[in-house]
Homo-oligomer: A and B are copies of this chain.
Amino acid sequence: MDLPPERTSQNASLSEDAATAKRAGMTDTQRPEARSPRGFIDRRARDLTAERKILTAVSAVYERYGFEPLETPAFEYADALGKFLPDADRPNEGVFALQDDDEQWIALRYDLTAPLARFAAQNWETLPKPFRRYAFGTVWRNEKPGPGRYREFTQCDADTVGSARPEADAEIIAMAAEGLVAAGVPEGAAVLKINNRKLLNGLMAAAGVADEGQKLAVLRAVDKLDRLGPDGVRLLLGEGRLDESGAFTKGAGLNAGAAERVLAFTAAGAGRAETLGRLADVIGGSAEGDEGLAELAAIDAALTSLGLGADRAIFDPAVVRGLEYYTGAVFEAELLLGTTDDKGQPVRLGSVGGGGRYDDLVARFTGERTPATGFSFGISRLAAALRAAGREAAADLRGPVVVIVFDQTRMADYFAVAGELRGAGVPAEVYLGASGMKAQMKYADRRLSPAAVIIGGDEFAAGTATVKDLDLGRALSKGVTDNAAWRAERPGQVTIPRAELVATIRKILDAQSLDSAL
């Protein structure tokens, strides 16, 4: 692989500044810009705290269902990952790939399923079967970034490899529903939508669609129903569709009758049993379609025994899922939480996860069919949706107690104070910048510190410490409390014997949670 050209070398006689610059890898005239690559973002405490809470909660659900943790590497050989992304017509086929020293192509995982298939194939002999694993980690998609659309995100998956039972699918669906509740989605505010690729295949057989390319085009058209509506999908099922930007997408080339049949199939139903009955009529007895219907009936029974009614899991024939490796049941988790955008328009939070059965993926390696099914939460997306809906878990963004540096020569004393607080379990730090008192207090306020500890000459002489209640100041400045009552209760600033420092800080921490103070 070619690398960018070396930076211009400096000549031998270097000034002091130039030497520093060279040591730091730059020249006078060439300074890198501080920015992230397109589609990649930095995440700070608020986002991270929310995502970690969701990961922890969902992982606990997976473990309660008997799934063990597994982490596979970020890189896989490109041939092991396969090419299953819906965006396959883009350059690089949607993955970040590079050629290793030994000339083999390696690529960053685009999901956690393809690596699991590789792992299962590699270790099949020694694994307990069925093999149940959960995993969370970063995945990468080399796609065109857009607003809220990133090229790196976190998934949290659970999969069962080695079971062909529809009950394995049902269990995965039930875990997903339970995971949503654990993540903070109120019951009734999310629904699992279930379909089966075999139904779609059966429908196409009944409609006379035999060509694999045409089948794929039909699937892709149906997959866009949410976004384009029936009229848009009708065009994509037929000759094609011209979008607003003037770009033309070639259609699947179905005749009008076949296209209407597909559209009729995709209409969503009410109860699970009713939907199955209606689908049986549309599909009209193709062998693959009937197989799909039988699987969905078994999933229905298992979901019912797990207590999941049609308020939490429905059959939706329009669900396709973009990844090409699915072979049977497919599922999608959709949030129903209502929210509005800046203009007051309702916003559809949409899919926060999905999955399905991929019975051929392990066979790519071994040649032996190994049935498998799984589900993946998009953790970043789920966190963002919960935030948008005002359902974000309350993050503890409170900063540490800040020990103010009043006297530069007493750093050792300030360090001892901070150590004492930490020893009592109270996050604390000594201010380590170079600024004066006012800037230090401002710093403590920006860190959302509950309190600042001030020990100057008087305090050192008297064996005391002054504690300033910063929560109070923030509350007063926002006018959220009754000033008089607060002031009586909380004096704002107290000078106390050094021995009472920890107790005084604790009182402030207990008195007022950050949430109500802000």
A interface residue numbers (CB < 8 A to B):
1, 3-4, 12, 14, 19-26, 31-38, 40-45, 48-49, 63-66, 68-80, 82-84, 91-93, 96-98, 100-102, 104-106, 118-119, 121-123, 128-130, 132, 138, 140, 142, 152, 160, 162-165, 167-168, 170-171, 211-212, 301-302, 304-307, 324-325, 327, 360-361, 363-367, 399-400, 402, 411-413, 415-416, 419, 422, 425-430, 432-434, 443, 446-447
Contact = CB atoms under 8 A, between A and B. Distances in A.
B152 A74 contact: yes
A167 B360 contact: no
A163 B433 contact: yes
Given A42-B71, A433-B130, A427 B66 contact: yes
A350 to B, nearest CB: 24
Contacts of A68: 44-45, 399
Q: What is the count of identical protomers in the complex? A: 2
B77 A364 contact: no
A82 B38 CA distance: 18
B128 A443 contact: yes
Contact of A364 (B31, B64, B165): B31
B160 A432 contact: yes
Given A32-B79, A327-B23, A411 B167 contact: yes
A422 B64 contact: yes
Contacts of A447: 66, 128
A251 to B, nearest CB: 20
A164 B432 CA distance: 8
A67 to B, nearest CB: 8
29 contacts: A1-B98, A4-B78, A24-B82, A24-B325, A25-B84, A25-B364, A26-B82, A26-B364, A32-B77, A34-B119, A34-B122, A35-B77, A36-B75, A37-B73, A37-B106, A38-B102, A42-B70, A42-B71, A44-B70, A45-B69, A63-B427, A64-B400, A64-B426, A68-B399, A96-B98, A129-B443, A163-B433, A167-B430, A171-B429
Nearest to A106: B37
A432 B40 contact: no
A36 B399 CA distance: 42
Given A24-B361, A42-B119, A69-B45, A32 B80 contact: yes
Nearest to A4: B105
B40 A73 contact: yes
Given A25-B325, A36-B118, A37-B76, 19 more contacts: A1-B98, A3-B92, A3-B93, A4-B79, A36-B72, A38-B102, A40-B75, A43-B71, A44-B69, A45-B68, A45-B69, A64-B428, A65-B400, A65-B427, A128-B447, A130-B432, A162-B433, A165-B411, A167-B430
A31 to B, nearest CB: 6
B140 A66 contact: no
Contacts of A100: 37-38
B82 A432 contact: no
A252 B462 CA distance: 59
Contacts of A128: 443, 446-447
Nearest to A431: B130
A27 to B, nearest CB: 10
B168 A432 contact: yes
Q: Which 10 A-B residue pairs are closest in the complex by CB-CB distance?
A: A66-B400, A66-B429, A40-B73, A305-B412, A34-B121, A24-B360, A34-B122, A32-B79, A163-B432, A34-B365
A119 B35 CA distance: 8
A499 B475 CA distance: 53
B65 A432 contact: no
Nearest to A63: B427
B69 A105 contact: no
Nearest to A52: B69
